[in-house]
Amino acid sequence: MAYDKFNILTSTAVPLPIENVDTDQLIPARFLKATERVGFGDNLFRDWRYNPDNTPKKDFVLNNPVYSGKILVGGKNFGSGSSREHAAWSVYDYGFRCVVSSFFADIFRNNCLNIGVLPVQVSAEFSEKIFAAIFADPNTELEVNLPDQTITLLATGEKETFEISPYKKDNMLNGFDDIDYLQSIKPEIEQFALQLPL
C-alpha cells in the first residue's frame, strides 16, 4: 500500500514514557478481524484509551488535548510482542508519521519502515531530554530530518543523529516499498530457486 513520502517533519509530539509498550497495547487482538486496512487508527491503544463502556480514559495521553502532533515519543523497547503489522497501521492511521524511542522491538521497527512510519532511535539521555522538554512545554517542536538523519529539539537546538540503512532511507524519501524492488528482480529470483537444496 502506498504511503506518503517522508522528508523533513516538524511537529509537536505526544509523550508516552512507558517501557515495553507491546503490540497488544498498540492494537488488542480483538481488533484484528478486519479484512481490509480500515479503522485501525480509532483503536490505537484501545484499552489504555477507553474504558470498557467506550468512554475515554481522561488520564491517557491521547485523550489529553494538551498533547498532539505527528510524532509519538515512547519508552524503551517500544513495540515488543506480536508481528501484527496492524500495530504499525494503527500508529500511521491515527496520524503519527514518526515514533521516537531509545530502543525498538525488531519486527515492529521493520513493519514501520515498510508502511511509512519512521522509527527514530535516540540515546537514553536524549530520550529523557525530549520527554522533559515536552512535559515542560507541550507546544515544543521536534524536527525529524530524514535526509540529514537528525532529530532536533527546536527550542534548544540540541540534536542527535539516527541510523537508517541507505536503502530504507531512499524508500522512505520516495514512498517506495520492497515489493516494487522485488518485482523488478523476479527473473533472478526464479533462477535462484532452481538450485536450492530443498
Partner 1 sequence: MSKTLFDKVWDTHVVRKIEGGPDVLFIDRHLIHEVTSPVAFLGLKSRGITVLYPERTFATADHNTPTIDQHLPVADPLSANQLKALESNSNEYGISHWGLGHQKNGIVHVVGPEYGITQPGATIVCGDSHTSTHGAFGAIAFGIGTSEVEMVLSTQCIMQPKPKKMRINVNGKLGIGVTPKDVALFIISQLTTSGATGYFVEYAGDVFENMSMEGRMTVCNLSIEMGARGGMIAPDETTIEYVKGREFSPKGEAWDRALAYYKTLKTDPDAVFDKELVFDGSSIEPMITYGTNPGMGMGISHDIPDAAHAEGGAATYAKSLGYMGFSEGESMIGKKVDFVFVGSCTNGRIEDFRAFTSIVKGRHKAEDVTVWLVPGSHIVEAQIKEEGLLDILNEAGFTLRQPGCSACLAMNDDKIPAGKYAVSTSNRNFEGRQGPGSRTMLASPLVAAAAAVTGVVTDPRTLIEKVEELV
Of the candidates 76, 129, 132, 152, which one interacts with partner 1 according to CB under 8 A?
A: 76
Burial class of 75 by CB neighbour count within 10 A (0 to 12, 13 to 18, 19+) = middle
Quick one: 34 or 154, whose CB is closer to partner 1?
Answer: 34
**Paired strand residues for 15:** 73
Structure-derived torsion over alpha carbons of residues 99, 101, 105, 107, reported in degrees to the nearest 10: 20
87-106 residues in contact with partner 1 (CB under 8 A) are: 88, 103-106
x-or-dash pattern for partner 1, window 134-173, by CB under 8 A?
Answer: -------------------------------xxxx-----
Q: Which stretch binds partner 1 (CB under 8 A): 76-84, 129-137, 142-150, 151-159?
A: 76-84
Quick one: 5 or 37, whose CB is closer to partner 1?
Answer: 37
Quick one: 157 or 195, whose CB is closer to partner 1?
Answer: 195
Of the candidates 41, 81, 95, 138, which one interacts with partner 1 according to CB under 8 A?
A: 81
Task: Please state the separation of Cα 52 from the chain's center in Å.
Answer: 26
Q: What are phi and psi of 169, to 5 degrees?
A: -60, -45
Contacts by residues 148-157 (CB-CB < 8 Å, ≥ 24 positions apart): 151/100, 151/120, 151/122, 151/126, 153/129, 154/10
x-or-dash pattern for partner 1, window 18-47, by CB under 8 A?
Answer: xxx-x-xx--xxx-xxxxxx---------x
Query: Minimum CB separation from partner 1 for residue 141, in Å?
Result: 26
Task: Provide the sign of the torsion angle of the four alpha carbons 115, 62, 77, 141, taken in this order.
Answer: positive
For residues 99 and 41, the answer to whether their CB atoms sit within 8 Å is no
Distances (CA, A) of 182 to 8, 76, 171, 189: 27, 33, 13, 9
Q: Residue 97: name the closest of 184, 25, 5, 191 by CA.
A: 5
Query: Minimum CB separation from partner 1 for residue 106, in Å?
Result: 5
Query: Minimum CB separation from partner 1 for residue 51, in Å?
Result: 10
**What is the contact surface with partner 1 in residues (CB under 8 A)?**
1, 17-20, 22, 24-25, 28-30, 32-37, 47, 52, 75-77, 80-86, 88, 103-107, 110-111, 114-115, 165-168, 177-179, 181-183, 185-186, 188-190, 192-193, 196-198
